[in-house]
A and B are shown apart, each in its own frame.
Chain A
Amino acid sequence: MLQFVIAGLVVGGIYALASAGLVITFVSAGVLNFAFGSIAYSVARTYYYLHVQHHWALLPSVVFCMFVIGPALGAFLFFVLFRHLALASTLVKVVITIGLSVALPPIVVLLFGDMQIALAPGIAPQPVHIFHVLGAAISMDQLLVYIFVAAILGIGFAVLRFTDAGLGVRAMVDSPAMTSLSGGNPSRISLAVWMVSTFLAGVCGMLLAPIIGLSASAFTQLIAAAFAAVVAARLRNLGVAIAVSFAIGVAGSVLQYWLPPASTLTTAVLPSVPFAFIVVFLVYHIVRAGRVAEGEGVGGALDRAIVPHGGARLAASLEKASGGGVDPRISTWAPIVGFAFVLVLPNLLHPFWVGLMAQAVATTLFMLSYTLVTGEGGMLWLSQITFAGVGALVSAQLATRHGWPVLLAVLVSALIAAAMGTFLGLVTLRLGDVYVALVTLTAGLLMEGLVFTRPVFLQNGVGVVLNRPHFANSDKAFVYLGLAAIVLVSFLIINVRRSTTGLALNAVRWSETGARTLGISVVQMKLLVAGLSAFVAGIGGAFLGMQGRVALGDNFSVYFGFVLLTVVVTIGIRSNFAAIVAGLSFVMFPQLLEEWLSPKWIQLTPILFGIGAIQLAKHPNGVMVEQMHENGRKVTALLRRLSGRGPSEGQPQPADPPEQPATVVS
């Protein structure tokens, strides 16, 4: 038993460092860093590269990676990215860190090579020395975890409590604005906080590597467990976060002691422990406070008052999104012409590329679920890929095992996904944006670990066959079936957008209080968009399964969902046609890179889309959509000049919108 407690404290200690790193960046910068796992992976992979691949001595490798690479990465990210996000919305900040989490690992792979590393050394000298205490074995790696955790937490506590720098950080937490007015320098403090946070990420990575090996998705998944502690701490209580981290580590380890070894139940239950903590603490917070929102605890009154919710910047963004200044005929016909081009493509391309198009249309169908839930509903759900998985797995069960017609199976599986989405919508009703992202991420990871790995779905790792309808057996026919489905879903989204439902959704998105006092049921609207988007995701997942002719849970990992989210955000989250371009780009672009350059450069795809998502603060409507609107304006101006009407004739030029004073959403 003692052996298990010792192991639990090791994992709990690493969680504690991670949760501390997450909490300090949230309270000081308002950013919940979903890229923490990727940063940990990047530093750990650098350490492996230097120490193992280039035979640097242990001590210089550890010191260089831990004290130089980690903090330097934090400083770099602060200067190029995070310092520009002070006034960005919660949703934008979360998406940007997701973009970072997608872009970082492939950059590391490009730099250090693509290797499967199951066994990585820790920071203890090899061979690792084993101590025996009270009959229990403690490895040098484990001992070093204890030493690092104790030292870092002790020094951190002392700095925060007894030094001027600590006072500055605590003042920032209460109110960056007041800190600034009192002569403090919030930027310098933020820089220091980011460097400390990435230092902690680096330490976590180097301590985790000997336990889980070196894999970006494993790091993301394990660090996501630290989110449980962060939720328990309501994103800001460092002490609670650390205590709960240890509790999660020990609880998981002790459960392992009690559960039967080598059982599928054990392997399913153990990764679920942190998520059980999330559920318990969320229920506790909701029962206690009625609602859990991240904004309540961050910054002072002055800080909340200066957060902009309107003004010329927003107006300009909306103008770009709506394609203002573009001739309506161009706005209408450009996507139709683009779609017509896509329609003829299967007749022009080589069968190999038509096969890729089949994958692209299935991906597009899935991406339209993001257009609905995030583009229209304004909610960041990280479990859309899980609903896609449900669509594929249930379709395969119904069609292949029970002999249902495949399209009926797809429809029913999408309805099941919709029911699950509606339920999750109900669970997240009283949560703020960051919590919604966390809970949907948790739900996705839980399904991935607990359900998708069941033998009935896994079938020894090969999945369940999911055949296409007989009339769409060829790639070309399947492309047209997929395009027909895209047209139907797009029509549904356009109808939502134009209808009273769309107006009400928009109202809820901008101001729940305003919507409620107008008579709109926020609950109904949120459940509607949750259910519809999960339905579309389910259809997309089933099409992805049919395209590959197999339904396998591994193809619907949360991490893969992150990648697809960055793609659609980069191209345009509020445009149906952008979703088509996103699907085509995601599938075709890596192949083009491989053809033109070399297989190594396939890594450029997630890097570019990750960086694209990072641009969200600058291009909230997507890079491509904003560029299309810009081109549309130029073409409109050109047409007017050619027709002799000139820019000033016909309609008056709007004056620059006046800057609206900052308003507060209470």
Chain B
Amino acid sequence: MSDVVLAARNIGVRFGGLVALDEVDIEVPSGALVGLVGPNGAGKTTLFAVLSGLLRPVKGTVELLGRDVTKMSPQARARMGMARTFQHLELFHDLTVRQHVVLAYRVRHSYSRLWRDLIDLRGFRRPPREEDRRVDSLVSLLGLESVAEVPVAALPLGTTRRVEVARALAAGSAVLLLDEPSSGLDPRETQQLSQVLRTIVDAEGVGILLVEHDVGMVLGLSSMVTVLDFGRRIAVGTPDEIRQNEQVKAAYLGDSADTDGSVA
């Protein structure tokens, strides 16, 4: 197995008297796609918030690239190499598709430009060739060329989901957390997105943690799957193992669920 880029161990989260996460472990190797599934209220989004630093756990640790980041802010984790998308989009409506990617690239590769640009007037000059190349390749990889100069507010949901992924990749991340990226997409768009995710894992070599309600998509794409229920991890294994797991069937999949995960 490849190196583990993200690991959460023994994570516990409480909201008052409610145990949202109880001793949950999860690992994401580099160059692999790990699925995270579970019924509503299982704790998937809470775990994502803990991993990305938006929520601090009452116990447990989060390690990014072998370093304990449990107490680090979201922006510090982002600069170390973690990026995420949101179920409810967190895009910057005024910015074009390309500007999203450019901003993410610069935050990761030349953060000081956030201040230096004010003084050295670099905003008036052409961007470095390397930046242009990387931005163009990501825009192309995600199939966004035709809308590159369009403000994201004018784009349909399926396209904006791809913008979030492009932005996350531009940050040069070692690990990507994708929170229900197919939410609101039609079957054709879901299929396109699945292809994009496969390409990213193969071409970019990043580790992806995918939370999804579309079980077919998760089981079709993932090399490993973790299942949560009521804040506890009830199963972890390959897609085939998960399909056969009686506890998972009882809690989540059911007997007749379409879980073949066929992805073109």
Complex Cα–Cα for A657 and B157 (A): 11
Minimal beta-carbon separation of B44 from chain A (angstroms): 15
B103 engages A504 (CB within 8 Å): yes
CB contact between B93 and one of A310, A504, A515, A518 (< 8 Å): that residue: A310
Q: Which residues of A contact B88 (CB under 8 A)?
A: 663-666
Write the chain B residue with the least CB distance to A524. Answer: B114
B114 engages A663 (CB within 8 Å): no
Q: Is B230 part of the binding interface, using a Cβ–Cβ cutoff of 8 Å?
A: no
Q: Is A627 part of the binding interface, using a Cβ–Cβ cutoff of 8 Å?
A: no
B118 engages A518 (CB within 8 Å): no
Q: Is A319 part of the binding interface, using a Cβ–Cβ cutoff of 8 Å?
A: yes
Minimal beta-carbon separation of A288 from chain B (angstroms): 14
A499 engages B157 (CB within 8 Å): no
Minimal beta-carbon separation of B114 from chain A (angstroms): 5
Q: Is A345 part of the binding interface, using a Cβ–Cβ cutoff of 8 Å?
A: no
Q: Is A514 part of the binding interface, using a Cβ–Cβ cutoff of 8 Å?
A: yes
Complex Cα–Cα for A286 and B49 (A): 21
Stretch at the interface among B5-13, B19-27, B94-102: B94-102
Q: Which residues of A contact B95 (CB under 8 A)?
A: 503, 506-507, 510
Known: A517-B54, A657-B154. A503 touches B111 (CB 8 A): no
Q: Which residues of B contact A163 (CB under 8 A)?
A: none
Q: Which residues of A contact B92 (CB under 8 A)?
A: 506-507, 509-511, 514-515
B114 engages A500 (CB within 8 Å): yes
A632-666 CB contact bits vs B (8 Å, 1 = yes)? 00000000000000000000000001101101111
B123 engages A500 (CB within 8 Å): yes
Q: Is B17 part of the binding interface, using a Cβ–Cβ cutoff of 8 Å?
A: no
B87-130 CB contact bits vs A (8 Å, 1 = yes)? 01111111100010011101110110111011001111000000
Write the chain B residue with the least CB distance to A318. Answer: B151
Complex Cα–Cα for A503 and B86 (A): 20
Q: Which residues of A contact B123 (CB under 8 A)?
A: 495-502
Q: Is A476 part of the binding interface, using a Cβ–Cβ cutoff of 8 Å?
A: no
Q: Which residues of B contact A314 (CB under 8 A)?
A: 93, 153
Q: Is A513 part of the binding interface, using a Cβ–Cβ cutoff of 8 Å?
A: yes
Q: Is A459 part of the binding interface, using a Cβ–Cβ cutoff of 8 Å?
A: no
B65-90 CB contact bits vs A (8 Å, 1 = yes)? 00000000111101100011010111
Known: A500-B106, A500-B123. A517 touches B184 (CB 8 A): no
Write the chain A residue with the least CB distance to B94. Answer: A506
CB contact between A507 and one of B54, B73, B103, B117 (< 8 Å): that residue: B103
Complex Cα–Cα for A660 and B153 (A): 8
Q: Which residues of B contact A666 (CB under 8 A)?
A: 86, 88, 90
Known: A506-B92, A510-B92, A517-B74. A496 touches B154 (CB 8 A): no
Q: Is A285 part of the binding interface, using a Cβ–Cβ cutoff of 8 Å?
A: no
Q: Is B187 part of the binding interface, using a Cβ–Cβ cutoff of 8 Å?
A: no
Known: A500-B103, A519-B107, A660-B155. A309 touches B93 (CB 8 A): yes
Q: Which residues of A contact B232 (CB under 8 A)?
A: none
Q: Is B165 part of the binding interface, using a Cβ–Cβ cutoff of 8 Å?
A: no
Q: Which residues of B contact A315 (CB under 8 A)?
A: 151, 153-154
Minimal beta-carbon separation of A494 from chain B (angstroms): 8
Minimal beta-carbon separation of B145 from chain A (angstroms): 14
Near A by CB (< 8 A), chain B positions 171-193 give 171, 184
Write the chain B residue with the least CB distance to A657. Answer: B154
A511 engages B91 (CB within 8 Å): yes
Number of A-B contacts (CB under 8 A): 142
B118 engages A501 (CB within 8 Å): yes
Minimal beta-carbon separation of A317 from chain B (angstroms): 8
Write the chain B residue with the least CB distance to A504. Answer: B114
A311 engages B153 (CB within 8 Å): yes
Of A500, A502, A506, most B-chain CB atoms within 10 Å: A500
Complex Cα–Cα for A119 and B165 (A): 66
Q: Is B160 part of the binding interface, using a Cβ–Cβ cutoff of 8 Å?
A: yes
Known: A495-B117, A499-B117, A506-B92. A513 touches B86 (CB 8 A): yes
Q: Which residues of B contact A525 (CB under 8 A)?
A: 114
A663 engages B89 (CB within 8 Å): yes
CB contact between B154 and one of A319, A513, A524 (< 8 Å): that residue: A319
Chain A's interface size range is: 35 or more
Write the chain A residue with the least CB distance to B99. Answer: A503
B167 engages A518 (CB within 8 Å): yes
Near B by CB (< 8 A), chain A positions 461-518 give 492, 495-504, 506-507, 509-511, 513-518
A501 engages B117 (CB within 8 Å): yes
A518 engages B103 (CB within 8 Å): yes
Known: A503-B103, A507-B103. A519 touches B171 (CB 8 A): yes
Complex Cα–Cα for A311 and B91 (A): 12
Q: Is A429 part of the binding interface, using a Cβ–Cβ cutoff of 8 Å?
A: no
Minimal beta-carbon separation of A524 from chain B (angstroms): 7
B86 engages A514 (CB within 8 Å): yes
B94 engages A510 (CB within 8 Å): yes
Q: Which residues of A contact B75 (CB under 8 A)?
A: 516-522
A514 engages B155 (CB within 8 Å): no
Q: Is A322 part of the binding interface, using a Cβ–Cβ cutoff of 8 Å?
A: yes
Q: Which residues of A contact B151 (CB under 8 A)?
A: 315, 318-319, 322
Q: Is B16 part of the binding interface, using a Cβ–Cβ cutoff of 8 Å?
A: no
CB contact between B94 and one of A318, A660, A663 (< 8 Å): that residue: A318
A510 engages B78 (CB within 8 Å): no
Minimal beta-carbon separation of A308 from chain B (angstroms): 10
Complex Cα–Cα for A100 and B133 (A): 51
Complex Cα–Cα for A518 and B53 (A): 12
A660 engages B160 (CB within 8 Å): yes
Q: Which residues of B contact A514 (CB under 8 A)?
A: 86, 90-92
Q: Which residues of A contact B61 (CB under 8 A)?
A: none
Q: Which residues of B contact A509 (CB under 8 A)?
A: 92, 94
A296-332 CB contact bits vs B (8 Å, 1 = yes)? 0000000000000111101100110010000000000
Complex Cα–Cα for A310 and B156 (A): 10
Complex Cα–Cα for A522 and B76 (A): 12
Q: Which residues of B contact A520 (CB under 8 A)?
A: 75, 103, 107, 114
Write the chain B residue with the least CB distance to A497. Answer: B123
Known: A309-B93, A322-B151, A500-B123. A518 touches B104 (CB 8 A): yes
Complex Cα–Cα for A522 and B156 (A): 28
Complex Cα–Cα for A310 and B118 (A): 30
Q: Which residues of A contact B226 (CB under 8 A)?
A: none
Of B74, B92, B124, most A-chain CB atoms within 10 Å: B92
Known: A499-B118, A507-B95. A660 touches B107 (CB 8 A): no
Q: Which residues of A contact B156 (CB under 8 A)?
A: 658, 660
Known: A518-B83, A665-B88. A318 touches B52 (CB 8 A): no
Write the chain A residue with the least CB distance to B107. Answer: A519
A657 engages B94 (CB within 8 Å): no
Q: Which residues of B contact A661 (CB under 8 A)?
A: 157, 184
Write the chain B residue with the least CB distance to A662. Answer: B88
Q: Which residues of B contact A519 (CB under 8 A)?
A: 75-76, 78-79, 107-108, 111, 171
CB contact between A657 and one of B54, B89, B124, B155 (< 8 Å): that residue: B155
Which B positions have Cβ atoms within 8 angstroms of A? 52-54, 73-76, 78-79, 83-84, 86, 88-95, 99, 102-104, 106-108, 110-111, 113-115, 117-118, 121-124, 151-157, 160, 167, 171, 184
Add 15 more A-B contacts to A319-B154, A661-B184 (CB < 8 A): A310-B91, A311-B153, A495-B118, A496-B118, A501-B115, A501-B123, A504-B114, A506-B94, A509-B92, A509-B94, A510-B93, A511-B90, A513-B86, A519-B79, A660-B157
A-B contact pairs, 11 of them (CB 8 A): A315-B154, A500-B110, A518-B75, A518-B103, A518-B107, A520-B75, A528-B115, A657-B155, A663-B88, A664-B88, A665-B88
Chain A to chain B: the 10 pairs with minimum beta-carbon distance, closest first = A514-B90, A499-B123, A519-B78, A499-B117, A315-B154, A498-B123, A657-B154, A510-B92, A511-B90, A503-B103
